[in-house]
Amino acid sequence: MAFEGEFDAVICLCQGAFGMMTADGEDDAVVAGMARALRMGGRLALSAFNDSATVNGLLDAGAAGYLPKDQHPAVVREAVLAVHRGEGRWFVPIPRRPDVLSPLTGREHEVLVAMARGLDNGAIAERLRGKKLPLLDRVEISIIEEAQPRWLSFLNKQHDYIDRLPNDFIEVAMPARRVAPNLVKQGVRGVVTLMSDVTFTYFNMTDPVVGGMAPHQVALRRAIGLGVDVDREIRLLRRGMAIPAQSPVMPHLTGYDTSFKSEMSEYNPPRAKALLDMHGYIDKNGDGWRESPDGKPLILEISTQPDGQSRQQNELWKKNMDALRLRMVFKTAKWPENLKAGRAGKLQIWALASGASGGDGQGMITRYFGPQAGNQNIARFKHPAMDAIHEKMTVLPDGPERLALFQQAKKLAVAYMPYKLHSHRLVADLMHPEVHGIRRPLFWNEWWHFVDVEPVPFA
């Protein structure tokens, strides 16, 4: 089918919207004609029925995106704008509708037999009590990298559970860390967990600009730390889903103390500027930027990644350092490349996150242990007092003496600042009403053996 004019974008309502578009293959022909009529750079947003055969045919014919007709107007608006920007085929996962039903699992068969015998839900639950783990014969996990398709696939009930709700949708799905009223009406439940992790930025202690243990070098790192607005980072980047970190020890671990407060969470630009001035980091040539005490140019180089969250974090970093008149440049590479370079001591500053693998807090103190330089101690920090604490901590049993060592280690970590600690993250998980038993573990990611699915009675 040919069109006389050219278009910037097209929204096509297919199958049943118009009488002319109900014949087999007619939709595809219309879409292909419109795709040819689009101006250079134009895109096509498509609304269609929710079956994979139709959707795949239309996409193959030239549609740049697919969206069901029952979506909220705000979603449709964003879809049109997105395809015009070139972000096609991302709105919702195309549903899989197998032609043949998969055979019943052993547990499903048991439930079906119980229903056939007239047992109600309570009786069925009692009958299944005491079953061995895992409760289900199969748990399917879908890997969806982009945030919006993950969220929409859960919202459209194509998935029963969304693991780690993307921060972009926190305010929509769990404002104030509570499930939104519209989702509560659908029976959706949510759980927020304070993770045993920490986000941080490390300084390469062998770097001539930000490393070293001389007073002016320590002052530079501490000034940078005081100039980082962690609360703003949590509010904007994490959407409120984190708490400020006070020490390297993570929540839920031995040595973590909720009463311990430190400079790590302090945002104090005046104090940061005073530290810089006192140690000779001033503008010596009148260009508006601070130089090193010896008069050489002072440039902070932060390694980063080419993803959206890293770009947001870079914007916050630049705003913070511009306020201190510290010049900053960003060096972008893929995460594995940065990790390799970081372990080799070739990066100056890099932001990372770390999660605990067990209940003892010594793992994060190991990040300050000299012999681990280039491995867990990616900052290459070396200090005799910290090394002695770590070695003594290794052989002591849990108790007051070992906890006192944790306190000493925390104070040294704050004083020398080889790592600027940012936050401990909160994670939100959502599940539909038929899903039961999901408990996010603090360590590792194994949870599926606890999961059970129970039919929801019709209203």
CB 423 within 8 A of CB 239: no
Examine the domain organization and report whether 217 and 186 are in the same domain: no
pLDDT confidence of residue 20: 37
In a domain, 367, yes or no: yes
Domain that holds residue 62: 7-85
pLDDT confidence of residue 368: 97
CB 201 within 8 A of CB 422: yes
Examine the domain organization and report whether 268 and 323 are in the same domain: yes
Examine the domain organization and report whether 58 and 175 are in the same domain: no
CA distance linking residue 295 with residue 216, whole number of Å = 13
Examine the domain organization and report whether 138 and 207 are in the same domain: no
Helix (H, G, I), strand (E, B) or coil at 78: helix
In a domain, 383, yes or no: yes
Q: How far from 57 is each of 46, 62, 73, 92, 148, CA to CA, in Å?
A: 12, 9, 25, 16, 23
In a domain, 94, yes or no: no
Examine the domain organization and report whether 401 and 440 are in the same domain: no
Examine the domain organization and report whether 314 and 419 are in the same domain: yes
Question: What secondary structure does DSSP assign to 117-149, as a single string?
Answer: TT--HHHHHHHHTTPPSPSSS--------SHHH
pTM of the complete model beyond 0.85:
no
pLDDT confidence of residue 458: 46
In a domain, 40, yes or no: yes
CB 31 within 8 A of CB 17: no
In a domain, 101, yes or no: no
Give the orientation angle of helix 215-226 with respect to helix 269-278, to 10 degrees.
160
Examine the domain organization and report whether 288 and 208 are in the same domain: yes
Q: Find, among 248, 286, 259, 300, the residue nearest to 411 by Cα.
A: 248
Q: Find, among 161, 279, 244, 301, the residue nearest to 421 by Cα.
A: 244
In a domain, 92, yes or no: no
Type of residue at 83? V
Give the residue carrying structure tokens 């998969």. Answer: 102
Q: Identify the helix (H) or strand (E) that includes residue 178.
A: none
CB 256 within 8 A of CB 218: no
Q: How far from 394 is each of 274, 383, 389, 406, 457, CA to CA, in Å?
A: 39, 17, 9, 11, 55
CB 321 within 8 A of CB 224: yes
CB 114 within 8 A of CB 131: no
CA distance linking residue 404 with residue 409, whole number of Å = 9
Indicate the length of the chain as a whole number: 459
Q: Which of 24, 55, 85 is the last residue of a domain?
A: 85
Helix (H, G, I), strand (E, B) or coil at 362: helix
CB 252 within 8 A of CB 261: no
CA distance linking residue 399 with residue 389, whole number of Å = 15
Taking the CA atoms of residue 295, residue 297, residue 301 and residue 306 in that order, the dihedral angle to the nearest 10 degrees is 160
Examine the domain organization and report whether 434 and 357 are in the same domain: no
Measured over the CA atoms of residue 166, residue 167, residue 173 and residue 174, the dihedral's sign is positive
Q: Identify the helix (H) or strand (E) that includes residue 65.
A: strand 65-67
Examine the domain organization and report whether 397 and 440 are in the same domain: no
pLDDT confidence of residue 136: 78
Per-residue confidence in pLDDT tens, the chain, 459 aa = 555 556 666 666 655 433 334 444 555 566 566 555 554 444 444 554 555 566 666 666 666 666 666 665 656 666 676 666 655 544 444 444 444 455 666 666 666 766 665 666 677 667 667 777 677 778 888 888 888 899 999 999 999 999 999 988 999 999 989 999 999 999 999 999 999 999 999 999 999 999 999 999 999 999 999 999 999 999 999 999 999 999 999 999 999 999 999 999 999 999 999 999 999 999 999 999 999 999 999 999 999 999 888 999 999 999 999 999 999 999 999 999 999 999 999 999 999 999 998 899 999 999 999 999 999 999 999 999 999 999 999 999 999 999 999 999 999 999 999 999 999 999 999 999 988 877 788 887 777 777 888 776 644
In a domain, 2, yes or no: no
CA distance linking residue 366 with residue 376, whole number of Å = 7
46: domain CATH number is 3.40.50.2300
pLDDT confidence of residue 18: 37
Examine the domain organization and report whether 18 and 143 are in the same domain: no
Question: Which tokens sit at 167?
Answer: 């921060």
Extended strands (E) in 170-326: 189-194, 197-203, 242-244, 299-304
pLDDT confidence of residue 139: 83
Cα 43 from chain centre: 30
Give the residue carrying structure tokens 């925390």. Answer: 410
Question: Which tokens sit at 84?
Answer: 């015009």
CB 47 within 8 A of CB 75: no
pLDDT confidence of residue 200: 97
Examine the domain organization and report whether 247 and 334 are in the same domain: yes
Examine the domain organization and report whether 153 and 289 are in the same domain: no
Give the residue carrying structure tokens 């050489």. Answer: 296
In a domain, 341, yes or no: yes
CA distance linking residue 258 with residue 94, whole number of Å = 46
User: Number of folded domains in the chain?
Assistant: 3
